[in-house]
Structure 1
Amino acid sequence: MTAEERRVPARGGRRMTWGDRDFEFPEQPVASLSDIDEFLEEGGGGGEGSRGSFSSEEGLEDDEEGEGSCNNAEESKKFWETQHQLLQGVLCRSSSTATRIRNATKVALKEVRAAGIPCGCRPSAAAADCRSCLMREVCVRLQSAGFNAAVCKSKWRSSSYMPSGEHTFLDVVDDSAGPKKGGVRVVIELNFRAEFVIARACGDYDRLVQRLPEVFVGKVERLQGVIKILCAAAKKCMKERKMHMGPWRKHRYMQAKWLGTCERTAPLALAGPPVIGFFSDGRRKPKASMLTLDLHEKLPDAHRTAVEVL
């Protein structure tokens, strides 16, 4: 652009000519320092006021999170209250058959603990402290009371959704209703509460487990209801504690313990004559020593030579 092409711009603006076209640029007002200070004080330009606006938005987000956690707390409280009510309803239901077997089981347990029967697995221990011996002694007494009792052993193979395992418990099959209706099966678990205990569980789950009976005696339908309630509670507890739920805590695994295929075995005392080394009631016989054996009575015709003991 030559010098002739430049023209004096109008007041308050600026005009430039390029070729045959004129371009006008209005003069922009220059901000003073006071204007800049006023702008910053009003919160413009990313100053402190701008940061204040972001903090207020963060405050709104915190309020939303707090409201969500409050809702979660209410939902959790409602869930545990519902589980307690469901469990109470299931435990209160009982039939006359299960009540008779429950009372007989209590009597059998008292007799075993009061008798001080030695353990058949460990001679230094008592049968009441050994799970297998305690089940055998209780089963013997239930059979003596006229019940079709047996020791049951369930066993299941490993699959894609649960590991293999096995479990031993008692059951009674009641055939008093007649062959047409079939037998009623009553499951007896002498250490029922411990089967649902979880390490580092939340307080709500622990309180739910404490409501379980130490000795469970009930029909299969009643046991199914208890398992369903406790497994749902265990899942909720693990989620709240942010812990992994092992497959042995899940519903299918717990059902396999008592409700899967099992083998019923009559206790040794009533299945036949006692084996060598045991009394008829299942107690282990004391071992004889050669030092206490009277050779004079056992071998009357044997030649004996007197030996002087110095």
Structure 2
Amino acid sequence: MDSLEERVSVFYHENSDESDNNPSDYEFNVDDDDSDAKPQRILYWESQQALLQEILERSSLTGSKLRREVCEITEKVREQQADFCQCRKPNVDACNSCLRHGVVNLLCDQGFKATLCTSKWSESKKIPGGTHEYIEVMVIGSRTKQISYVVELEFRDQFEIVKACNEYRNLVKMLPKTFVGKPDYLNAIVRVVCDAAKQSMKESRIHMGPWRKRRFMLMKWSASVERLASVESSSTPNRYDLQSSLSSKRAYASSYRHFSASPAVVVT
């Protein structure tokens, strides 16, 4: 099984439930006296690292121009934060929002079709409600087909856990500080890292909050996913379990708002 899709399916069941009563095949307890569990633990974390590395490498093969532009623009806005900040508040989240506004403005000035999106979802029995703001850029790919790219400026920060094992921390360090990629690759990354977070907390005997689970994490970028699904409803399902994640999102209210936009440009 050489394809990435097949390798992902080996680790995770297609229709698995994320509840605590249905652990994945790779979950286990590691006790000091359990010598059989230690090789399994090593194999698990090595496999997670290899799988994440492959996903990141494949994701980096597309959108290189956009990724380079976003990183350069982000650094420029950070250096001139005082000029771009509209809230004038010492709150980090508020200034991060101003940062995203500034990045969207400069992307549009460069000819990109950039949008400031806000995902909103209602509270349920399994996950709390919330909102999340990020950037979406529409580009023209092969055969003049528009392709959606998710831009998350604080991507690595989304997965930081204070009381995590060293293996999980090393996994998070592999993530880019700023993510620029297609929603299906984003879904695959979130799936791998959230499973690793669950295992790390299980090893430390710490309860995993619902805001750490994959279902909640994917809701953060659901505005882009829902929009992509509506555009490509007649095409085949996206890879990396993107379609199955949509089924859980339809139960929640998800919306996006335009900040500014310009005609899409070709990005390679």
Q: CA, structure 1 residues 69+147, in 2 after alignment: closer, same or farther (shift >3 Å)?
A: same
Counterparts in 2 of 1:43-62, with a 5 A limit? none
**How far apart are residue 115 of structure 1 and its match?**
3.5
Give the secondary structure class of the aligned counterpart of 1:174: strand
Q: Distance in 2 between matches of 1:222 and 1:103?
A: 18
User: Is structure 2 residue 229 aligned with structure 1 residue 264?
Assistant: no
Go from structure 1 to structure 2 and tell me whether the alpha carbon gap of 1:242 and 1:132 turns closer, same or farther (over 3 Å shift). Answer: same
Matches of 2:160 and 2:70, distance apart in 1: 23
Residues 1:168 and 2:145 are matched in the alignment: no
Alignment of 1:5-16 (within 5 A): none
Q: Which has the higher relative contact order, 1 or 2, with Cα contacts under 8 A spaced 6 or more apart?
A: 2
Aligned in 2, Cα 1:244/1:77: closer, same or farther, shift over 3 Å?
same
Cα deviation, 1:66-95, whole Å, max 9, x if unaligned, reads 896111111111100000001100111136
SS in 2 for 1:161: coil
CA apart distance, 1:106: 1.4
Deviations 1:215-264 (A, max 9, x none): 11111111011000001101111111111111111111011111353303
What corresponds to 1:75 in structure 2? Answer: 40
**Corresponding residue for 2:26?**
none
Match of 1:140 in 2: 105
Match of residue 112, structure 1, among 60, 66, 77: 77
| 2:195 equivalent to 1:229 | no
1:127 & 1:149 partners in 2: Cα distance? 23
Output the aligned Cα RMSD.
Answer: 2.7
Structure number with greater Rg is 1
Which of 155, 168, 173 is the matching residue for 1:205?
168
2 CA distance for matches of 1:235 and 1:127? 28
SS in 1 for 2:207: coil
Change (3 A) 1:223 1:116: closer
Corresponding letter in the other structure for 1:74: P
| SS in structure 2 at match of 1:93 | helix
CA contact under 8 A between 1:188 and 1:217: conserved in structure 2? yes
Q: 1:122 maps to which residue? A: 88
Per-residue deviation at 1:139?
0.6
Query: 2: CA distance between counterparts of 1:84 and 1:176?
Result: 30
In structure 2, the gaps of 5 or more residues are: 1-29, 224-253, 263-268
Distance 1:135 1:262 in 2: 17
TM-score using structure 2 length: 0.69
SS in structure 2 at match of 1:108: helix
> Runs of 5+ in structure 1 lacking a partner?
1-64, 272-310
Shifted more, 128-137 versus 157-166: the winner is 128-137
1:114: how far off? 3.4
Aligned residues: 202
